[in-house]
Structure 1
Amino acid sequence: MALDSYDLYVVIILVVAVAAYFAKNQFISKPESTGFLSNDSNGGTNSRNILETLQKNNKNALLVYGSQTGTAEDYSNKMSRELSSRFGLKTMVADFADYDWDNFGDIKDDILVFFILATYGEGEPTDNAIEFIEFLDNEADTLSSLRFTVFGLGNSTYEFYNAIGRKVDLKLEEKGAERFAEYGEGDDGKGTLDEDFLSWKDGVFDSLRNNLNFEEKELKYEPSLKIIERDELTTEDKQVSLGEPNKKYINTSVGTDLSKGPFDHTHPYLAPITKIKELFNSKERSCVHVEFDISDSNLKYSTGDHLAVWPQNSNENIEIFLKAFDLNDKKDNVIELKALDSTYHIPFPTPITYEAIIRHHLEISGPVSRQFFLSIAAFAPNEETKTKLTKIANDKSKYAEEITLKKYNIADALLYLSSGEPWTKVPFEFLIENIQHLTPRYYSISSSSMREKSNINITAVVESEIEKDKRIVSGVVTNLLKDIEINKNKSGDKPLVTYDLKGPRSKFENFKLPVHVRRSTFKLPSSSKTPIILVGPGTGVAPLRGFIRERITQLENDVNVGPSLLFYGCRNENEDYLYKDEWKEYSKKLGENFEIVTAFSRADPSKKVYVQHKILENSAKINEFINNGAIIYVCGDAAHMARDVQQAFIKIISNERKIDLEKAADLVRSLKVQNRYQEDVW
């Protein structure tokens, strides 16, 4: 039957649409993820095809990482350099998010694959590893030609310790892959992560030597990048990075709108702080409530999410770092970074100054690892210092005594070992490659997205202490927030450490900070009528405050809400009772549907009372809540509180239901699987 003109028109439209669809998939690739602090242009022009990239760059070792805070990425880069230097392997480090994994099964056994995987929260993959885990679960067929090893980074205070490392190791084996070195895992909960990694690495090297017959050479630093001095450029040149979050904030051409997202770990929003106040009534300790205005952006959040605040280093820590490496005279010099390997990603915008790298991109204030010590020994200022450093670095107990327990950062430790002599032989390339890069700090949001649509609240204890030798050991973001609180409120107090509050080219002026939101699974039940049990001592109460504020808003909108039972603990009612006056107002508004039970650990010098004790005192009520379908939320310290609280719930179920503790523990685990026992712990 012949087509009339209308039918022909429809057919032509369909043909064009189908052709356009396939053309789009053929020629438009996914945008490449650059990662936090990454330059918009990397060392090469690699595609998202992992196999093609490996072959094009003639690589025979792939190190792929799943990282949430940067530690797994840092380990991957350090391992890569050692494999290259010691064994001559042609290594490539890859972020899971930068590649597609469809043809992963085509990787042959002449390429060794190293997985370095962190577990996030309660057994979840890190954000960048989600797609790969889905590929392994649902798409991967046989992987019989793959040779691999896995190192998992976890925290044993969590129920599902190192779940992702263990899962990937077993999944690869199930699909026929061959393990060339034993699985290893590190425990951040016990503070042994670095030592666990070193132990696993030693086992991998043994396997390379003894099982795969690789010849080992003496370790020698071989840079992956080259520094080029740009004497013709100054800090006045608009193309020079002074520490802006990314290139979009440097090359702000007319019409560039930085208030529109997406906002994530590659691109933050510069959010003004509209309100910040001190919550503690104490001379020794400090906690700040901070409100970020997001009304001029399309940044969104949901109650229970986390706010990532992008850090910078304090003036005091920068000063001692410049002294340690004799960089004071060069701090404003402009340099450019060039990759010597086509697969190496330049980690931040360039050209840039030395000072901008140190202030905004290097983790200089945290603890120094033994692995870093072993690497930097070759650049010691003299033989005496080298001998001393090597002796300490090769002795775990001595290292703990001399460096870790004294809470030295990198500059402190090196100047201590060299008796104050600067380390002038250390290439700056080495510092860029071997010092972990600054990553965002995550805070549970303490506001309700239903009630506070245009601002985000966080609650943060300021981490700082003065050591016996007068050194100040301070948290990065919390002390920045305290410095802002003092300056914005003109309180007259003196901060322990100070920061560049105006930021690069005054972009942070008027108290702005770069932020983005990370989604969380720590959420209120879908039904507002569901009973909730909330446990949040200290700043663990932050997201729980958001939950209660949300329920008040629901009630104000004529929505029925279920009962909320909150257990809150702190040291002293008159010193660190967070949001003390607010809870009274919430009680008035919610009436019998809200109850707060408090535990003040230092109220009675003869007996410390914590939230778990108060939970046990309310056994019957809690059992009734659980029987009525309540969801339990626990937020705060993972090392002790979360475990003690879980044991309290197990005892309650055991006693109230007349079952043994083992069965009660199984029931609590079942609640976790059903998402009726949720934790947001650190």
Structure 2
Amino acid sequence: MSVETETLIQQADEAIIDTFDLFFLLTAGVLAVLYLYKDTLFGNNKKVVASQQSISNNQTLKPIVSPPKKNKNFLKRMKETDKNVILFYGSQTGTAEDYASRLAKEGQQRFGLNTMTVDIEDCDMTLLDKFPNDYLAFFLMATYGEGEPTDDAVDFWELINSESPEFSEGMSIEEKPLSSLRYVVFALGNKTYEHFNAVGRMVDNKLTEFGATRIGERGEGDDDGSLEEDFLGWKENMWKAVCEVMQVDQSKVETGGHIATYKITELETYDSNKVYYGEYSEHALMINGTRPTYDAKNPYPSPIVDSRDLFSPSLTDRNCVHMELDITGSGIYYETGDHVAVWPVNAEQNVERLLKILGLWEKRDTVVTVESTDPSASKKYPFPVPTTYATIFRHYLDIHALTSRQFIATLANYAPTEAGKSKLTTLGQDKEAYRIEVSDAYLTLSEVLESISPNGKPLDSIPLDLIIETLPKLQPRYYSISSSSKSTPTKIHITATVLTFNPTSAPHKTVYGLATNYLLQVHRKMRNIHHPEILPNYLYSGPRNKLYDEKNNTIKLPIHVRRNNFKLPKNLKTPVIMIGPGTGVAPFRGFVIERTLYKTQGEEVGDTILFFGCRRRDEDFLYESEFTKLFETLGESGKLITAFSREMANKVYVQHKLMENDSHIWNLIYNHGGYFYVCGDAKNMARDVNNALIQIAQSLGGMDENSATNYVKDLRSKGRYQEDVWS
């Protein structure tokens, strides 16, 4: 081969290599562009679904404008606004948030502290290791369910329980990461649960473990007892300890007058399309074509496709409502055992009553804004604004709640007469007088104000911002879903007993449960059932008349789904024992439906045992005919065991039936790895069932009391003993 030929070949090879390099670089560049702009070019699954829906509905798809990300650097915010005390809260129902706000205001007004209140989920808690030693942090932590953190505290919970907390990274082993943190803690829970105040206690222990210093004693509130009294009794000594470490001269502390937390402005001009009439987020105000996400901050208006009263109206004056909600196309999904949250509204009688005693009835439709007077506040608005006075009391504040003793003491300053002031002062200071006249009579705010109003005249001297600041926010009510996601994935079933009672010190007064009576009246309206008794009535049409279709007489309920760890075992062959008297049977209806579905599909299903209890078979046996058919399908592997407490001279409950079947139950649990579930009343039933199982472990397992107790606790820790209970 000539030199010239070799040279030509070499040049050709180099050209091929250059071309390949160029092709490789171009390909890599295109792939990089495609990756960087994949969402814009292709869209994610949700965007594709939304586009298809919009096209099918002949709608123009509007672009989503993402809300600005929250600044989670709480230390930076504190420094910028000259704050030295921060109050973190983890709250499920709003109580911990309410207490945090009350402490923040008290710390500012009484002791001159510069306070700010924040939801713990809105903060980067890995910054705790940089907390200045002249600052102070409060932690107001509620416990939800079986020792679980509230939804907004999950990230913080995982952080402090991790083996190598993020906030300890980069620090020497000799130095504890939170040595500069000084903190106060108040735990909120319910003693009827086994893991009473588990979250608050764990937070306290972990912070101390990482070197932080607690100021004062840990506060603990019992929601089943007297949470408000626990809180009031704790905070006075707590403030003394705080004043000492924050160098507040208590001898110079002045209570001062009322300092407005919110500024209320009546609007003369406004965009009617941007006024909130009960909507919970700006997504609900958007025009068709947007793609909202439905969750706890933006509930889905779910159509009610079926409803019925499960009790026999001819045999009892009690009611239990079964409702079926359609979630088709909402993007919401649920799993069997989850909870559904229903967003209720206050009864119109109560809305009118409070508006009138406050002198706002004639201005009920006036459009207003309510804005925090503190520019550093984590929540600029207490609820969506602009809105109206009537909407505030109908949708955003819980005017149905019992009036707290501390609030009554504050209201004494605005009583129109000396007699009224004296009365409220006594009720605010005397715990026994408060219990008898307010708590036992279940007095709401409107009733307390009416009791001191001369001749029923409006009390327009009471600052409205004080009402807004003090009344709890109206929160959703949670129900165990009574359907199976495997059987009806686009329908959620609710089973709710309607609450009504006569207070001990006011027997002629009837108190109506807020959410359950709302469900009952919705059911009656859809079924055109007219009841002779004067009952609460509601604005069924909802904001902008979007919830009620008068032509078809159908109503929608605002809902969202909350995940729950109350779940069937993954192995279908695993035996399950379910204890669910009354509406405690709700999730087990879903469990049994699901196990039966698998059985009809040819799957091998383990023993399915349900203990159900109620008063009488012919009065309140929930889903009797349905359960009969389901257990017939399950065959020998299924068993329904009932206890009717009022059909015999000696009352029989589910725990008694459990003991009668002790050998079979023990065999399923001990020898076959069975799962044990309890749902319903936590205060009595769940405790009695737990004790019954301990007795079975003693008698059939040959254990002493201590070993049997530890065995049952071990079942809980392994997830084989699960509870979904309430007080």
Q: In the alignment, is the contact (CA less than 8 A) between 1:654 and 1:664 conserved in 2? A: yes
- 1:308 aligns to 2:335 (yes or no): no
Residues 61-118 of structure 1: CA deviation (Å, up to 9, x unaligned): 1001011111111111111111111111111111111122222211102221000000
Q: Is the 8 A contact 2:284 2:298 kept in 1?
A: no
1:83 equivalent in structure 2: 107
| Aligned: 1:208 with 2:242 | yes
With structure 1 as the length reference, what TM-score do the two structures score? 0.92
Q: Which of 473, 487, 490 is the equivalent residue of 2:525? A: 487
| Mapped pair 1:641 → 2:676 | no
Where do residues 377-416 of structure 1 align in structure 2 (5 Å cutoff)?
377-416=412-451
Q: Distance in 2 between matches of 1:11 and 1:443?
A: 53
Partner of 1:199: 233
Select the residue among 406, 409, 432 that pairs with 1:371: 406
1:435-474 matched pairs, under 5 angstroms: 435-466=471-502, 468=506, 470-474=508-512
| Alpha carbons of structure 1 residues 227 and 110: separation in structure 2 relative to 1, 3 Å | same
Instruction: Check if 1:519 corresponds to 2:552.
Output: no
Once the two structures are superposed, residues 542-599 of structure 1 have per-residue CA deviations (whole angstroms, 9 ceiling, x without a partner) of 0000000001111122221111111111111111111111111112111111111111
In the alignment, is the contact (CA less than 8 A) between 1:245 and 1:514 conserved in 2?
A: no
* Alignment partners' CA distance in 1, 2:36 and 2:485: 43
- Matched residues in 2 for 1:13 and 1:246: separation? 40
SS at match of 1:295: coil
Instruction: Work out which of the residue numbers 504, 519, 529 in structure 1 matches 2:543.
Output: 504
| SS of equivalent to 1:608 | coil
| Counterpart contact for 1:93–1:343, Cα < 8 Å | no
- Give how far 1:150 is off: 0.5
Cα distance in structure 2, aligned partners of 1:657 and 1:199: 45
d(CA) in 1 for partners of 2:614, 2:260: 49
Note closer, same or farther for the CA distance 1:18–1:45 as it changes in structure 2 (3 Å cut). closer
Task: Pick from 129, 132, 139 the counterpart of residue 115 of structure 1.
Answer: 139
Residue 14 of structure 1: how far off its partner (Å): 9.1
Q: CA deviation at 1:266?
A: 0.5
Q: Give the unaligned 5+ runs of structure 2.
A: 1-13, 39-64, 169-176, 549-553
Residue 358 (str. 1) matches residue 393 (str. 2): yes
1:537 partnered with 2:581: yes
Q: In structure 1, the residue corresponding to 2:682 is in which secondary structure?
A: coil
Partner of residue 28, structure 1: none
Name 1:140's counterpart in structure 2: 167
**1:127 and 2:151 matched:** yes
Corresponding residue for 1:295? Answer: 328
User: In structure 1, how many angstroms separate the alpha carbons of the residues matched to 2:357 and 2:650?
Assistant: 47
1:551 aligned onto 2:595: yes
Q: Which amino acid aligns with 2:658?
A: I
**Which residue is 2:278 aligned to?**
243
Distance in structure 1 (CA, Å) of the matches to 2:486 and 2:326? 15
Determine which structure has the larger helix proportion and give its number.
2
Counterpart residue type for residue 210 of structure 2: K
> 2:57 maps to what in 1?
none
CA contact (8 A) 2:96 2:140 kept: yes
Q: What is the aligned partner in structure 1 of residue 639 from structure 2?
A: 595
Counterpart of 1:483 in 2: which secondary structure? helix
What amino acid sits opposite 2:241 in the alignment?
S
Distance 1:96 1:436 in 2: 19
Q: Distance in 2 between matches of 1:177 and 1:450?
A: 48
| DSSP 3-state at the match of 1:561 | coil
Query: How far did residue 462 of structure 1 move?
Result: 0.7
Alignment of 1:176 with 2:211, yes or no, is yes
What is the match of residue 677 of structure 1? 721
Give 1:181 shift. 2.1
Asked which structure has the greater CA Rg, the reply is: 2
Q: Describe the shift of the 1:558–1:257 C-alpha distance in structure 2 as closer, same or farther (beyond 3 A).
A: same
Cα distance in 1 for partners of 2:218, 2:644 equals: 44
Gaps of 5+ in 1: 22-39
TM-score by length of structure 2 reads 0.86
The SS at the match of 1:289 is strand
Q: State the structure with bigger RCO (CA 8 A, min sep 6), 1 or 2.
A: 1
RMSD between aligned alpha carbons?
2.3
Q: Give, in angstroms, the shift of residue 635 of structure 1.
A: 0.2
SS, match of residue 714 in structure 2: helix
How far has the Cα of 1:515 moved from its partner?
Answer: 0.3
Deviation for aligned residue 1:305: 0.2
CA–CA distance in 2 between the matches of 1:353 and 1:470?
A: 34
Are the structure 2 counterparts of residues 143 and 69 from structure 1 closer, same or farther at C-alpha, using a change threshold of 3 Å?
Answer: same
Counterpart in 1 of 2:87?
63
SS for the counterpart of 1:319 is helix
Q: Does 1:340 align with 2:373?
A: yes
Aligned residues of 2:371 and 2:382 also touching (Cα < 8 A): no
- Assess, with a 3 A threshold, how the Cα gap between structure 1 residues 659 and 46 changes in structure 2: closer, same or farther: closer
| Cα drift, residue 20 of structure 1 | 9.7
| Residue in structure 1 matching 2:254, options 217, 233, 257 | 217
Tell me which amino acid in the other structure corresponds to 2:364.
K
- Count of paired positions: 655
Partner Cα distance (2:88, 2:634) in 1: 50
* Conservation of the 8 A alpha-carbon contact between 1:536 and 1:568: yes
Alpha-carbon distance between aligned partners in 1 of 2:441 and 2:624, rounded to the nearest angstrom: 36
Q: Distance in 2 between matches of 1:590 and 1:415?
A: 59
Question: Whole-Å Cα distance in 1 between the matches of residues 269 and 25 of structure 2?
Answer: 65
Per the TM alignment, residue 448 of structure 1 is displaced from its structure 2 partner at its CA by 0.2
Q: Which shows bigger deviation, 295-304 or 536-545?
A: 295-304
